[in-house]
Structure 1
Amino acid sequence: MATRALTQDDIQRLADHSLCVITDLQTAEGAYPASPTFSAYVGYSWLRDGSFIADGASLAGATLSATRFFDWCARTLEGRADQIRTIVQQSDEGTPPSGDHMLPARFTFAGEDGTDDWWDFQLDGYGTWIWALGEHLDRHDLDSAPYREAVALTVDYLVASWQRPCYDWWEEHAEHVHISTLACIAAGFEAALRLHLISGERARRVEAELAAVHARILGDGVKDRHLIKWVGSTAVDGSLASAIAPLGVIDASSPIARRTIQVLEAHLTVDGGTHRYLGDTFFGGGQWPLLSCFLGLAHDAAGDRTRANELFDWAASTATADLDMPEQVDRHLIAPGMRQEWIDRWGPVATPLLWSHAMLLRLGIQLGRIDSHRLTAINEGNA
């Protein structure tokens, strides 16, 4: 299916709407809802999604909005200090708690556990929030003092847990160690060290663990010269592009980065739209705008701005007539027979998905396709 051509005015209107969706839907507590109407997501904020949303908002000039999200993260984690210390102690003693007793991937807007079952033991969000916080503090020259306790608790939790299998970005395959998860953890450790958010013995331990995470990624996380979905796999996952950019864990000029981009294009990307992974059946296994944006960021970091622009154009083309961006679209479905089963279970695809809007902003601003000064003016006018 050909994508519709968008004018520069179309793109800027979409960007304006994207920022408004993010800031208008942010809760009084500071959390970003994943999607306001999708049945399985209503009432929850993910550390992973929210951190990438906050990064997009921060880059777009919505500084206060991003700060409010990071304040929410800090309060939520500080409120779990006793739980985190218990997890760390048990792990250090060689008796780590089961996944059911680890920190959740998503929280209610009040920062509490959810009441329904979920695939919760995910470590990537805990690294991602520190990375995104670091980007935000550095970008706007903000004081790091309010976040030091929460960052210390988070890195202690990750140091104790990073080697464990857990669910991936997609709440799947809890039995594996996922390379995208390790990349998020490495990026969080790097930010904590670079900005001196931690110090003393804790910093020295994190530095040693960061080296170990990098060694695991570059050792067990590479097959045939490209990053792989999980340790022991040969397949790829769309989330791997994030390790190249924006996380920067893998040097974009390296042979591994170039080969990973090449394989992601060959295996998962059709007409500019990127799938999560081969074999995906969620809503039929459609193409995700946010993954095309991640791949676009990786291409741009590697020096191919032409391809990055093509991926941006495809992502922008998925917006609805109301300018809302979906989680995925039903183009080139991997498992079309499964689409209706998920609709019957949870309703139509999540639209708008705030993470999709944020990644469009992130890539579009970087490419110069979106006027960030205009976005800042809009945000200031709505403040």
Structure 2
Amino acid sequence: MIANPVIVSEERLRALAVESVRLINDLQTEEGAYPASPRFSAYVGYSWLRDGAFIADGMSAVGEAASAERFFDWCARVITARRAQIEEVVARAHAGTPTPDGEMLPTRFTFAGGEGGDDWWDFQLDGYGTWIWALGAHLERAPQDSARWREAVELTVDYLTSSWQRPCYDWWEEHSQHVHGSTLAAISAGLRAALGMAAIDGVRAREARTAIDAIAERIRVEGVHEGHLAKWLGSTAVDASLASALAPFGLVDPASDIGARTLDVLDRHLTVDGGTHRYLGDTFFGGGRWPLLSCFLGLAHHRAGNAARARELWLWAASTATDALELPEQVDGHLLAPGMRQEWIDRWGSVATPLLWSHAMFLRLGAELEGDAR
């Protein structure tokens, strides 16, 4: 429980929800992309598959189907435009001569679908699983034929089934030498969604099932330490992104022994008064607490049956909004590395505010909690 529970009025919660939907709709580009943040220097002009997929899921969960589908259409165009590159990655993987990391698909794109000209920590697999998962979750809420996105789903499945074993950067664009638990959870969820929406069949479906089973086994053997999920395979550490493996990805049942132990460790090691850090040792902008991570942890607690804890985490996230109802990427207070904060400000400016992913996770957990009252 939170030592000093946060109090946010119902009026402000409603206003923040309305503003979150308005902000995301207004900032979504004509191409369908979601900007990560409209003003933060390092993010301006780019849309991430990972962030965008979670934003689309949040919008879908509150009934903004058209916005979510415009993003999925954008994903489909971005991916199908790279058919030849994906086919080469798959062929080289099958031949035993894997494509170098620098030639794999990027994690973020310009709004027009390009790759940009500046260097980035680009090789990340999780976003490719996440966009298919988000599409599948949307189609469960708004049933329709998935044929519109089938080609892109097929190409993405091929890319993931040929590459899932590879080390790559994590959610935080760090530690590229490891295979990360949250990355595997996203890939597994995407492959399961592709099967669930009947967007793949034949050999492709068999390869997806094989990868799903292999991922579960690797997590069981290498991805658990002292009964909880680990930051990467073979690690003893934890990372707040692991909450996604419990919910919404469902790789591990939140009510299982591993799920309960993971929730306990994330609460005790990374969460202070409702605000959740990324991981111990984080120095990015001093290592603050992230509203979106409190919402992920809240989703996992809710799926484990602890709605009260989920609401506490949601209220803390809501409390971080500015007077203009903008949610930041992270907040000051309880910094893990306060001496590093100014270095990042000097490099990139103030913390990203608003961050659309933060607004989306506030909406997503709010929708989950609202379901309890129905």
TM-score, normalized by length of structure 2? 0.98
Greater than 4 Å deviation, 4+ residue runs: 1-4, 369-372
Distance 1:57 1:196 in 2: 23
Q: Check if 1:231 corresponds to 2:233.
A: yes
CA RMSD of aligned residues (A): 1.4
Task: Say whether the 8 Å CA contact 1:364–1:370 is kept in structure 2.
Answer: no
Distance 1:370 1:11 in 2: 17
2:148 to 141, 146, 149: 146
Distance 2:371 2:163 in 1: 40
Distance 1:345 1:22 in 2: 27
Amino acid at match of 2:228: H
Q: Give, in angstroms, the shift of residue 142 of structure 1.
A: 2.1
1:321-340 correspondence runs (5 A): 321-340=323-342
1:194 to 192, 196, 221: 196
- Give 5+ residue unaligned stretches, structure 1: 373-383
Amino acid at match of 2:95: E
1:17 aligned residue = 19
2:160 aligned residue = 158
Task: Say whether the 8 Å CA contact 1:3–1:317 is kept in structure 2.
Answer: no
Task: Say whether the 8 Å CA contact 1:274–1:288 is kept in structure 2.
Answer: yes
2:305 to 300, 303, 306: 303
Q: Check if 1:273 corresponds to 2:275.
A: yes
1:368-379 correspondence runs (5 A): 368=370
Distance 1:145 1:370 in 2: 33
Task: Say whether the 8 Å CA contact 2:314–2:366 is kept in structure 1.
Answer: yes
Q: Give, in angstroms, the shift of residue 247 of structure 1.
A: 1.0
TM-score, normalized by length of structure 1? 0.95
- How far does the alpha carbon of each residue in 1:24-74 deviate from its partner, in whole angstroms, 9 at most, with x for none? 100000000000000000000000000000000001111100000000000
Q: Give, in angstroms, the shift of residue 218 of structure 1.
A: 1.7
Distance 2:308 2:217 in 1: 32
Task: Say whether the 8 Å CA contact 2:5–2:312 is kept in structure 1.
Answer: no
1:358 aligned residue = 360
Distance 1:4 1:273 in 2: 11
1:1-383 correspondence runs (5 A): 5-368=7-370
Distance 2:288 2:354 in 1: 16
Distance 1:2 1:44 in 2: 38
Distance 2:92 2:24 in 1: 39
Distance 2:12 2:373 in 1: 12
- Give 5+ residue unaligned stretches, structure 2: none
Q: Give, in angstroms, the shift of residue 371 of structure 1.
A: 9.9
Distance 1:172 1:332 in 2: 22
**Percent same amino acid among aligned pairs?**
65
Task: Say whether the 8 Å CA contact 1:365–1:371 is kept in structure 2.
Answer: no
Q: 1:229 to 1:272 in 2, by over 3 A?
A: same
Q: 1:103 to 1:91 in 2, by over 3 A?
A: same
**Structure 2 counterpart SS, 1:368:** helix
Distance 2:101 2:306 in 1: 41
Task: Say whether the 8 Å CA contact 1:183–1:217 is kept in structure 2.
Answer: no
Amino acid at match of 1:332: H
Q: Give, in angstroms, the shift of residue 331 of structure 1.
A: 1.7
- How far does the alpha carbon of each residue in 1:224-243 deviate from its partner, in whole angstroms, 9 at most, with x for none? 00000001210000000001
Amino acid at match of 2:350: P
Distance 1:246 1:8 in 2: 25
Q: Give, in angstroms, the shift of residue 201 of structure 1.
A: 1.2
